[in-house]
Amino acid sequence: MKKIIQEHIEKALTKLGATDVSFVVEHPADLAHGDFATNVALSAAKKLGKKPREVADLIVAELTVSLPVGVSEKVIAIEIAGPGFINFRCSVSVFVTDLTRIISENKMYGSVVERKGQKVMVEFTDPNPFKIFHIGHLMSNTIGEAIARIMESSGAEVVRACYQGDVGLHVARTMWGILQNKDKFPKESVSLVDRIKFLGDMYVIGANIETPEALAEIAVLNKKIFEKSDSEINEYYTKGRTWSLEYFETIYKKLGTKFVHYFFESEVADEGVRIVREFLKKDIFEESDGAIVFKGEEFGLHTRVFINSQGLPTYEAKEIGLNKRKFEVEPTLTESIIITANEQSDYFKVLLKVFSLVYPEIAAKTKHFSHGMLRFASGKMSSRKGNIIAAETLITDVENLVLEKIKDRGFDAEVTQQIAYDVAAAAIKYSILRQSVGGDIIYDVATSVSFEGDSGPYLQYSCVRARSVVGKAQEIGIKPVIDLQVREVSPLEKMMVRYPEILERARTEYAPHYIVTYLTELASAFNAYYAENKIIDATDTTSAHKVAVTQAFAQIMENGLLVIGIRVPAKM
RNA sequence: GCCCUUGUAGUUCAAUGGAUAGAACAGCGGACUUCUAAGCCGUUAAUGUUGGUUCGAUUCCAACCAAGGGCACCA
């Protein structure tokens, strides 16, 4: 419909003698302004030397004769409003056919096949073994998973990747702590959570020691870990690494992420060094003060060290090795997305510049998105003092609040636990995804746990409630049937059929928050609809239609939540 | 000092250069002995400052002010 209107406006413009006019045909935010609106008259006015209203009159006159019969029947009114907007009102049939599609296409409603055959890698979360999985990782995971699923909804195959720092100073510092506390090193019989807590404590000990002797010892440990030259250290290292990775999997399970590829710093370092040395000869890099650096200044960037003066690769060199590796394990990749915290933004600009000089084909397919920090109204986190907030702590706290809320509802234990998982994850994910990716998130625990309005649980609740109504209707024999002869279409119905467009926009802009905003508005529309209408009413001939609308709503809500990584519980 | 990002109701966030700047929370005021009240309805309240471009600017440009991040061997 939109395209048809657009085409005919273009024809009309040509007839009027205006070319190269940029205009849009869109859904006005205010439903009172009709179903479609265009600013074409405003844009073309100057070119035609007429007032916008006059131009609008001319275009409308042109459209009334040019629209083909099938279309003109569906456009029941064309009005000129405001400074010169042209508004189109559509007949109910336009919406009714879309409503039937929601129900028939079911889980697939909103998905497209546009990117079928393409393969996209999304790298995100990136926690480090031997260190705490903190709320920053939670943020990366939430955003990365949402973007991955949004890509999947376009028909692309998505491979999720996780890059982990299993060597380096942070590991050496943890190891230093372990060696001071060998007697406390946990046995395998100790619970995984406690073993992880031990490693975290050891990191805090190692990270806070700054005496010259200790620092020298840590440097030695760093080398030994890297070279795997000490059997005692190897044993602690292997155990600690395995436990960390095992622990991360328990969190991914809760959050709903499955990685296909795990990359480790220890595996990409050598290749990174090799590449840097190769391109040092080709003058991409240069030596400076004993280190190998990339001079970014000539590109408006800054200089970064790739290999330090001791000949060891920095993060930069490893990153080159990593991105090369990505295309080796997945040679048919059409796009490679990297999600990190925004403190790495400038640094990634340098890296992408280097890629464009070293491996242009990789650079062309690589995109970097950065997110802000999860901050709390009270206090800031500091990584070294050990008062970093573990993802698990936050999740558990929110789970407990959910449990408190539902304890008197009479659900059995298993169901209760599942609700706690799903709702807590939704509450946290929603607060991350509701705003555009990039800025810091001020996480207010009180707001997040209130679950009122504008929250993940609000959306889940609306969906569960809608499903419950549909279920109850079925019980008394009212089947959901879209009434093709329906006289009036509610704001809820008009809003529902816009879902595919919202998803489309989220896809092209890699912006999950458009979906969140839309779903929140949709839930609000449904709740208003629910309050105004008695949906189940055996004496009402429109009841079957209302049930169908309710079912369509539940379907879109479920689809929309799933595409941003939020599950809907069966009850709540 | 240089670079990047961000300044919108009391607070936390929205708004592909368009119509009356939209929600939520907090505040104030309501409705309901009906399908899940984690719900619904009403109401108070905002574009950091100064210019510029434009028919039209929260959006683009410049300067200033303020906040956050980055700027050589950490990641």
What secondary structure does DSSP assign to A39-83, as a single string? -HHHHHHHHHTS-HHHHHHHHHHHHHHHS-HHHHHHEEEEEEETT
Q: Which nucleotide is nearest to A28 (CA to C1')?
A: B19
What secondary structure does DSSP assign to A108-130, as a single string? GTT---TTTT-EEEEE-----TT
What residue is closest to B19 (Cα–C1')?
Answer: A82
Rounded CA-CA distance A99/A409 in Å is 34
Q: Residue A567 in contact with residue A464, Cβ under 8 Å?
A: no
**Residue A32 confidence (pLDDT):** 86
Q: Residue A133 in contact with residue A391, Cβ under 8 Å?
A: yes
The three-state secondary structure class of A384 is coil
Q: CB-side exposure of A177: number of CA atoms within 13 Å?
A: 23
pLDDT digits (tens, 9 = 90+) for A383-420: 444 457 889 989 998 999 899 888 888 899 999 999 99
- Give the pairing type, strands A157-164 and A85-90: unpaired
Domains of chain A: 2-90 (3.30.1360.70), 394-563 (1.10.730.10)
Rounded CA-CA distance A472/A478 in Å is 9
pLDDT digits (tens, 9 = 90+) for A273-330: 999 999 999 999 999 999 999 999 888 899 999 999 988 899 999 999 999 999 999 9
Outline where A209-288 has alpha helix (H): 212-227, 231-255, 265-281
Q: Which nucleotide is nearest to A318 (CA to C1')?
A: B75
Q: Which nucleotide is nearest to A286 (CA to C1')?
A: B72
Is the entire prediction scored with pTM above 0.80?
yes
pLDDT, averaged across chain A: 92
From the CB of residue A51, how many other CB atoms can be counted at a distance below 10 Å? 13
Average pLDDT over residues A148-173: 95
What residue is closest to B13 (Cα–C1')?
Answer: A435
Q: Residue A372 in contact with residue A366, Cβ under 8 Å?
A: no
Distance from CA(A410) to C1'(B43), angstroms, rounded: 38
Distance from CA(A473) to C1'(B6), angstroms, rounded: 50
Rounded CA-CA distance A210/A194 in Å is 27
What residue is closest to B15 (Cα–C1')?
Answer: A29
Q: What percent of chain A has pLDDT over 70?
A: 98
A287: enclosing H helix or E strand: strand A286-288
Distance from CA(A416) to C1'(B26), angstroms, rounded: 31
Distance from CA(A378) to C1'(B63), angstroms, rounded: 35
Q: Residue A45 in contact with residue A74, Cβ under 8 Å?
A: no
- Residue A377: pLDDT band with limits 50, 70, 90: low
Q: Which nucleotide is nearest to A39 (CA to C1')?
A: B18
> Crossing angle for the helix pair A543-563 and A513-532, nearest 10 degrees?
160
Distance from CA(A344) to C1'(B34), angstroms, rounded: 56
**Residue A1 confidence (pLDDT):** 83
Chain B bases closer than 7 angstroms to a protein Cβ: 3-6, 11-16, 18-20, 22-26, 34-41, 54-56, 68-75
Please state the φ and ψ torsions of residue A25, each to the nearest 5 degrees. -115, 120
Burial class of residue A464 (count of CB atoms within 10 Å of its CB; 0-12, 13-18, 19+): buried
Rounded CA-CA distance A196/A210 in Å is 24
> First and final CA of chain A: distance in angstroms?
39
The three-state secondary structure class of A555 is helix
Distance from CA(A533) to C1'(B42), angstroms, rounded: 19
Q: Which nucleotide is nearest to A52 (CA to C1')?
A: B55
A33: enclosing H helix or E strand: none
One-letter identity of residue A354: V
Q: Which nucleotide is nearest to A164 (CA to C1')?
A: B75
Q: Which nucleotide is nearest to A291 (CA to C1')?
A: B73
Rounded CA-CA distance A543/A477 in Å is 11
Distance from CA(A302) to C1'(B2), angstroms, rounded: 10
Rounded CA-CA distance A570/A572 in Å is 7
**Plot region of A410 (φ>0 → left; ψ -120 to 50 → alpha; else → beta):** left
Q: Which nucleotide is nearest to A449 (CA to C1')?
A: B38
Distance from CA(A181) to C1'(B22), angstroms, rounded: 57
Distance from CA(A85) to C1'(B18), angstroms, rounded: 9
Distance from CA(A439) to C1'(B67), angstroms, rounded: 12
Per the model's pLDDT, the better-predicted residue between A37 and A379 turns out to be A37
- The interface pTM score, or ipTM, of the predicted complex is 0.95
Interior angle at CA A226, CA A223 and CA A231, nearest 5: 90
DSSP assignment letter at A259:
-
